[in-house]
Structure 1
Amino acid sequence: MINYRLILLYFSLVITSILTSCNEEGRKNITDNSKPVTVPVLQLKSKSIHLPQTYICDIQAVQFVEVRAKVEGYVDNIFVDEGQFVKKGQALFQLSSFELKEMVNRANATLYQAKAEAKAASLEVERLKVLVDKDIITSSELELAKSKLAVAEANITETESLLKNAQNMLSYTTIKAPFDGIVDRIPFKTGSLVTAGDLMTNITDISEVFAYYKVNENEYLRYMREKIDKGGEDKDITELSLILSDGKYYPFKGVLETMEADFERGTGSIAFRVRFPNPNGLLKHGATGKIEMTNELKDVFLIPQKSTFEVQDYNYVYLLNNENKVKVESFKPIKRFDVYYVVDGFQSGDRIIFEGIQQVRDGVEVNPTPVTDEEAYDNLAKHNQNHIEPTDLSCLSYL
């Protein structure tokens, strides 16, 4: 027979033992937590920050022209190769010109005939003038001869126009470069038949390039207000940096020149144009990159990311009061730069737990160890050193 009283007694002893162990552990934790934890503490100072901001841009040549055939014909010669630099007026292609040469010859013959007829009409007018002066014939015959002379002179004008048109058509068989530039792909080969309007190649002038980037309406308004306040000058953005697709900085600065006239429907953005020199031909038409410009933020604070923690999409730091007790404080970042949050809403002199935030909790007392700005913002200093020719990135200028 099972002795239920013994079983009940056994379980009571086990539960009592567990509770006693937990109480002893709790007292031990309280004893350990009663000693203030030593943590590094950063004192916040308001700063004026030139914060870099990037925009995706499209790179285009200052001149990009499609070279198309103006007349029909077979490709007799190709004088250049793809990727070759050509000068303005240099011959690129030669189309067959036999039919057009015949048109020029016929037009020349017609003009010669018209001039001969006009000459004969002119002599007839002179002859009739003599007869009219001697009253041998009436003046009506002279007027008729003058009319014939006018028709002959009109024929000369018409045939001269036809000849000029034929000569122009013949000249179109030699396709020349419209300006100094680089030859793009050549789709037609020697012997190919081309018709008027066919694309022969593209010519690009990349001695300089345009970089187009888009900003939203709020950024546009901020830019225009700052420009108006400065009397219409763009001193802060006359030299902009270009980040290439491989992440490296382009060694030459660009100048903001102009913007589009209207906002783009659907996106609500407007494009700005920056001109960059391209002396070594590194940039090509159709390439992509990022425009980097700096925005000045005043009376803000830099909070190291390791000094923060996140709960349900909200960011928090641990603040210290005058008694070195911890208080949880939430904040909303304005921007994120490298491993720092740019924020406002704090006061100069506020102290936050710099690192080791997992060792503390709200309401506990800590033993603070001051952290210098050089230690706190070491990563930011390294970022500036690695930046090629920074655009006034004096990110730590105190107010």
Structure 2
Amino acid sequence: MNKTRIMGGLFLALSLAACGEKKTEKEEEVRFLVSSPLKIDTSITREYVCQIRSIQHVELRALEKGYLEQVFVDEGQAVTKGQHMFQIMPVIYNAEFQKAQAEANFAEIEYQNTKQLADQNVVSATELAMVKAKLDKAKAEQALAQAHLKFTEIRAPFNGIMDHLQVRLGSLVDEGDLLTTLSDNSQMWVYFNVPEAEYLDYKLDSVEENYKKVQLKMANHQLFDHTGVVKTIEADFNNETGNIAFRATFPNPAGLLRHGETGNIVMHVPLKNALLIPQKATYEILEKKYVFVVDKEHKVHPREIKIESEIPDLYIVQSGITEND
């Protein structure tokens, strides 16, 4: 009997406590900040790996065979157009030139004498023509010998900077042997590859001059002081990569850039009527982006969106929502 009363009292106490909790419990309201996408003109930044090349980069090779008699320049030296850089021993070529010159002088004297005789009708016009042909041949051989002699002097074809020496003083060089390379770094050509879709964007929007201007991020992650301009685009796409090569030209007055460097091209792409949303307003499931959209009844629904690009703290939406959502 007492046990029954105790159990009944305990049940009554628990019931009263539960009723008390229900009365005191209040429904909590959670508020969220909502906003609509922003539609404005903006720009995005794209980067492309690039290779830096001198506007002129040529190999200097020996045009004649012989011993390298003199070297007037050093590795890494700046040279000017026409500057004497190498001298191949000219003794043999000089002797051949003098011989050809003497033969030309002899032929000239013979021609003048024959011409005087022809004027006096002592010799025929045919004989005079043969002597004249002999003179022309001697002059041609003289010019050829002079060219061979001149080829022993290797001069700079343009203003530039020397690379390392491939031969040393006293070396026996053959015709066509590489002596050094020369680079004109006053302007630099920078090559980078662009995917097909971005190439089409560029061509459709290239009426804007600012789109053609690009920046160069060097290997130390600093931007080069001067702005470049896209000058040319290759004719064909690479079928293996789906890319096409662009070439931008950069001024290089201080000579900071050198042939063979690498970096990144930074291109600012204008976007008109871009739809922007905060990145923190999205969430991701299985590599798909979603946002919560509030309907007319103030109910929240998830919706998948596609991202075209991103800028700091913002996404540029390609599809999925409108500016009125």
Q: TM-score, normalised by structure 1?
A: 0.69
Matched ranges for 1:61-76 at <5 A:
61-76=54-69
What is the match of residue 48 of structure 1? 41
Select the residue among 240, 255, 272 that pairs with 1:281: 255
Aligned to 2:167: 188
Kindly provide the CA deviation profile for residues 33-81 of structure 1, in whole angstroms up to 9, marking residues without a partner as x: x523355555432232211112222221122221111111111111111
1:209/1:277 contact within 8 Å kept: yes
Q: Partner of 2:183 in structure 1?
A: 204
CA distance in 1, matches of 2:49, 2:201: 19
Deviation at 1:235, TM superposition (A): 1.9
The partner residue of 1:347 within 290, 314, 322 is: 322
Mapped partners of 2:109, 2:225: distance in 1: 69
Normalized per residue, which structure has more strand?
A: 2
Return the alpha-carbon distance in structure 1 between the equivalents of residues 89 and 156 of structure 2. 18
228, 242, 248: which one pairs with 1:254?
228
Task: State the 1:320 CA deviation.
Answer: 4.0
**In the TM superposition, what whole-angstrom CA distance separates every residue of 1:149-177 from its partner, at most 9, and x where no partner exists?**
21111111111111111111111111000
Matching residue's letter, 1:206: N
Matching of residue 116 in structure 1 with residue 90 in structure 2: no
Pick from 213, 222, 228: which aligns with 1:239?
213
Aligned structure 1 segments of 4 or more residues deviating by more than 6 angstroms: none
* 1:101 counterpart residue number: 94
Amino acid at match of 1:90: Q
Note the C-alpha offset of 1:185. Answer: 1.4
Is the contact between residue 45 and residue 349 of structure 1 (CA under 8 Å) also seen in structure 2?
A: no
Q: Which moved more, 1:279-288 or 1:41-50?
A: 41-50
| Alignment of 1:82 onto 2:61 | no
1:177 is aligned to 156
Distance 1:218 1:308, change over 3 A: closer
In structure 2, C-alpha distance between the alignment counterparts of 1:338 and 1:61, rounded to whole Å: 35
Looking at structure 2, the residues matched to 318 and 263 of structure 1 have their Cα atoms a distance apart, in angstroms, of: 41
Name the CA distance, whole Å, in 2 between partners of 1:55 and 1:128.
82
Would the aligned equivalents of 2:202 and 2:211 in 1 still touch at CA under 8 Å? no
Counterpart amino acid of residue 220 in structure 1: Y
Percent identical pairs in the alignment equals 35
Give me the whole-angstrom Cα distance separating, in 1, the residues matched to 2:212 and 2:288: 38
Amino acid at match of 2:41: S
Counterpart selection for 1:147 from 106, 126, 141:
126
Aligned partners of 2:218 and 2:224 also within 8 Å: yes
- 1:371 is matched with none
Shift of 1:339: 4.5
CA distance in 1, matches of 2:173, 2:310: 57
Contact 2:231 2:248 in 1 (8 A): yes
8 Å contact from structure 2 (residues 211, 270) kept in 1: no
- Distance between the aligned counterparts of 2:312 and 2:222, measured in 1? 17
Q: Which residue of 1 aligns with 2:142?
A: 163
* Residue deviations 1:341-372 (CA, integer Å, cap 9, x gap): 3214323364xxxxxxxxxxxxxxxxxxxxxx
Answer whether contact 2:205 2:211 (CA < 8 A) is retained. no
Provide the rounded CA distance (Å) in 2 between the counterparts of 1:300 and 1:128: 96
Q: Which amino acid aligns with 1:337?
A: I
Equivalent in the alignment of 1:17: none
Query: Residue 11 of structure 2 aligns with which residue?
Result: none
Gapped regions of structure 1 (runs ≥ 5): 1-23, 130-141, 228-232, 351-399
User: Residue 125 of structure 1 aligns with which residue?
Assistant: 118
Extract unaligned runs of 5+ from structure 2.
Answer: 1-17
The CA distance in 1 between the partners of 2:296 and 2:219, in whole Å, is 50
Q: Go from structure 1 to structure 2 and tell me whether the alpha carbon gap of 1:234 and 1:160 turns closer, same or farther (over 3 Å shift).
A: farther
Distance 2:67 2:232 in 1: 44
Alignment: residue pair count: 303
| TM-score, scaled relative to structure 2 | 0.83
